[in-house]
Amino acid sequence: MVIWKLDRLARKTIDFLHADEALQGRASPAAVVSVEESIDMTTSIGRVVATILAAFAELEASSISAQVSAAKAYLADAGRWSGGTVPFGWVTERREGQPGWYLARDPAASPFVEGAARLVLGGGSVYSALRWLESEGAPLPTASQGSRSRAGWNYRTVERMLRSPLLAGMTRRGDDVVRGPDGLPRLEEALAVVTPAERRQFLALLDDMTDPRRKPRPSAVTTPLLAGLAVCDGCERTMTRGTTSGRASLSCPSCHQTVSRPQLEELLVGRLAALKRARADLRKAPPASADAYAWTFAGLTGPGGLGRCRGRPGAAHGPRRPLEGGVLRIRRGKGGRYLDRSRVAIVWATGFPTIAGTS
């Protein structure tokens, strides 16, 4: 195996040793060849020298990491921006007579951040905040779009925005925030859109909304949109509700593959909304008709969004009608920050595709 330098193969000595062991353990043993270092890795002495060089590479990487961490800590303590992606709602600016960059509220985007936070404080959900941002034409945070196939706001983007400590004028440092000598969070009032007390309040509200363990059982209160609809494509088993790393998910009881429930719900609602836009005349369907999907689509895309997809147990479940008798087939695939849409095949209820004007 040819590499440019030994430190390109591994930054930790143990990883280098494991790689060398794996190469030596092959049916046809192989050796590492470095372009920069003239070391014969086919001999024991050569591997010893390479191990020493790998140890120095690990020391160098550790030293660089410590220097970067110290520099970021210094900049944070000085109130300066340490680099990286600028959070939505803020911008970086220069200050006269002072070195470096500083954060400031973005006049164009900050009102949308504050509006979404106020909506949640007033009892709204993350989805209602998402719909509000879309209806108000809020500019999109470019960093969150990345390689997404569909541009626009999504649930996770809005939730991350609302959980940012910058909303209360606090600067993030790792998993914590920058603190003063007294141990209390250091506040930059010029950056804040809510008070620390208000932030604590809506963080508690967000936890209640997003932690499945805090939600009432569906049999007692509501019927979730995806209840009984998701099926593992490989095992033909109905996927059950649960949590993965504290996040709502669906999992197969046989092969244990998982998929994010919020991401799957967002995809499904988006597909239904697309069908609505394609057939606007569905709104004219007779209300008493068994195939009156117009109200269903209006409920999915109007104020409240996904919240209207719930119905009381035993009720007609109008918003779920296009799905009853159909399934969501979930294939195995990669997980991550965004849903891999190739994993999901939507099979609509009998008769629905014809009514909706889709195949």
Predicted local distance difference test score (pLDDT) of residue 284 = 55
pLDDT of residue 339 exceeding 70:
yes
Decide which of 3.90.1750.20, 2.40.50.100, 3.60.15.10, 3.40.50.720 is the CATH code for 90-210: 3.90.1750.20
Helix axes 44-77, 13-24, angle to 10 degrees: 150
CB contact at 8 A, 347 and 327: yes
pLDDT confidence of residue 301: 40
Predicted confidence band of residue 43 (pLDDT cuts 50, 70, 90): confident
Tokens of 50: 């390479």
Q: Give the C-alpha separation, 185 to 170, whole Å.
A: 7
Partners of 173 in the β-ladder: 176
Residue 112: predicted pLDDT: 93
Alpha carbons 286 and 90: distance in angstroms, whole number: 48
**CA–CA separation, 278 and 285 (whole Å):** 15
Which of 15-24, 314-323, 324-333 has the lowest average pLDDT? 314-323
- Compute the distance between CA of residue 245 and CA of residue 249 in angstroms, rounded to an integer: 9
CA atoms within 13 A on the CB side of 234: 12
pLDDT at 134 over 80: yes
Residue 299's pLDDT band (cuts 50, 70, 90): very low
Domain boundaries, the chain: 2-77, 90-210, 230-356
Q: Which has the higher per-residue pLDDT, 57 or 111?
A: 111
What integer pLDDT is reported at residue 153 of this predicted model? 84
- Six-digit token string for 197: 């007390």
In this model, does residue 353 exceed pLDDT 60?
Answer: no
The token pair that represents 216 in the structure block: 């009432």
What's the distance, CA 124 to chain centroid? 20
Q: Which H/E stretch holds residue 176?
A: strand 176-177
Mean pLDDT throughout 181-200?
85
Residues with Cβ within 8 Å of 155's Cβ and at least 6 positions away in sequence, in order, are 126, 127, 130, 262, 263, 266
Exposure string for 221-249, b = 16+ CB within 10 A, e = fewer: ebbbbbbebbbbbebeeebebeeeeebbb
Per-residue b/e over 300-316, b at no fewer than 16 CB within 10 Å?
Answer: bbeeebbbbbbeeeeee
113-117, 143-147, 186-190, 225-229 — which is least confidently predicted? 143-147
Q: What is the pLDDT of residue 219?
A: 41
Phi/psi of residue 346, nearest 5 degrees: -95, 120
Rounded to the nearest integer, the mean pLDDT of the chain is: 74
CA dihedral of 165, 171, 177, 179, whole degrees rounded to 10: -130
* Axis-axis angle for helices 155-163, 110-121 (nearest 10): 90
pTM, whole model, 2 decimals? 0.46
pLDDT bucket at 113, cuts 50 / 70 / 90: very high
**DSSP string over 260-314:** EHHHHHHHHHHHHHHHHHHTGGGGGS-TTSTT--HHHHHHHHSTTGGGGG-B-TT
The alpha carbon dihedral of 206, 212, 214, 215 has a sign of positive
3-state secondary structure (DSSP) of residue 104: strand
Residue type, 293: Y
Q: Are 263 and 155 in contact (CB under 8 A)?
A: yes
